[in-house]
């Protein structure tokens, strides 16, 4: 008996069309910020990488970032050579991956021992305001709900994926930003220019009524106002890092194997809360 295929998150044809229409020359500010953040993180590592590779959907816009690194488009099969790279960067695409663990496993296989993986993508707190107002507007206008914003993973879930993919020393952290817009239509315009419109496989294929977004804009302005009669939109950017295991890497000590007391290092007197006080005359 043939096993059913797992449900798809993304419509690949719609995703390709969205990315082809993207205009990062008008709305690439988040990509610019991510580039700067990655450069700072690589500088902190203090290591010279000689065989990097960059996985990114907008390779032309990322041409100024590590220009000597080969470019790979994010797809189910990344086509990376096993053990060929000392640095793999997966930039701004994991939130649309049907199999994010598979993407991380492929990146891990492509790394040399003690090679570094860096991943960056939109996290689960992104567009919380837009999700809420579209939900309210759709119930009011259409009497039901449909998938409109991708269910992006939260930090704890995505950080755990690093361990499942076999990375050592995994770290996950976030950068949150608040962006203001004149109205919901300017926000949606930016999402279109970013290539981040609704490409969910389970989305309604019929064009939504205009009243839906007019109602959503009214709700947005009342519920999430920002200064100067604008609305606010939250963006969460998740950064993942992990190393290909290698014998040279530091290992955590076994519990109870420490050779020095923390109290001595801090120069304080250790207090045992379980000890009973000694009373006079005992």
Residues 71/88, Cβ–Cβ less than 8 Å = no
For residue 137, being part of any structural domain is answered with no
pLDDT value, residue 92: 96
Report yes or no on 252 lying in a domain.
Answer: no
What range defines the domain where residue 46 resides?
A: 12-128+150-182+233-246
- What is the pLDDT at residue 248? 80
Q: How many CB atoms lie within 10 A of CB 139?
A: 12
Task: Please tell me the pTM assigned to this model.
Answer: 0.82
Instruction: Answer yes or no: is 81 within a domain.
Output: yes
CATH code (residue 25): 3.40.50.150
Residue 264 falls inside a structural domain = no
Asked if residue 27 belongs to a domain, the reply is: yes
In a domain, 41, yes or no: yes
Q: pLDDT tens per residue, the chain (282 residues)?
A: 445 555 677 889 999 999 999 999 999 999 999 999 999 999 999 899 999 999 999 999 999 999 999 999 999 999 999 999 999 999 999 999 989 999 999 999 999 999 999 999 999 899 999 999 999 998 888 765 555 455 555 666 776 789 889 999 999 999 999 999 999 999 999 999 999 998 887 766 667 788 999 999 999 999 999 999 999 999 999 999 999 998 887 665 565 555 655 556 555 554 454 444 444 443
Q: How many CB atoms lie within 10 A of CB 52?
A: 18
3-state secondary structure of 131: helix
On whether residue 67 sits in a domain, the answer given is yes
Total of domains in the chain: 1
Which residues have C-beta within 8 Å of that of residue 128, sequence separation ≥ 6? 234
Residue 107 belongs to a domain: yes
Q: How far apart are the first and last CA of the chain?
A: 78
């Amino acid at each position: 008996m043939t096993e059913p295929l797992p449900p798809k998150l993304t419509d690949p044809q719609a995703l390709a069309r969205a990315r082809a229409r993207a205009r990062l020359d008008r709305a690439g500010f988040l990509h610019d910020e991510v580039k700067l953040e990655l450069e700072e993180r690589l500088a902190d590592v203090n290591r010279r990488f000689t065989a990097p590779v960059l996985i990114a959907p907008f390779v032309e816009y990322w041409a100024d970032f590590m220009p000597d690194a080969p470019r790979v488009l994010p797809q189910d099969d990344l086509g990376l050579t096993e053990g060929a790279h000392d640095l793999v960067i997966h930039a701004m695409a994991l939130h649309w991956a049907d199999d994010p663990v598979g993407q991380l496993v492929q990146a891990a296989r492509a790394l040399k021992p003690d090679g570094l993986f860096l991943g960056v993508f939109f996290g689960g707190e992104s567009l919380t305001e837009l999700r809420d107002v579209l939900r309210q507007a759709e119930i009011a206008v259409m009497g039901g709900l449909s998938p409109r914003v991708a269910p992006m993973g939260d930090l704890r879930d995505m950080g755990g994926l690093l361990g499942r993919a076999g990375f050592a020393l995994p770290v996950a952290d976030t950068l949150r930003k608040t962006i203001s817009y004149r109205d919901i239509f300017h926000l949606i315009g930016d999402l279109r220019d970013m290539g981040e419109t609704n490409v969910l496989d389970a989305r309604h294929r019929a064009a939504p009524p205009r009243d839906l977004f007019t109602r959503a804009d009214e709700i947005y302005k009342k519920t999430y106002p920002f200064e100067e009669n604008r609305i606010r939109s939250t963006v969460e950017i998740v950064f993942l890092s992990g190393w290909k295991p290698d014998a040279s890497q530091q290992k955590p000590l076994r519990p109870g194997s420490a050779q020095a007391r923390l109290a001595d290092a801090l120069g304080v007197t250790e207090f045992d809360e379980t000890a009973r006080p000694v009373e006079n005359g005992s």
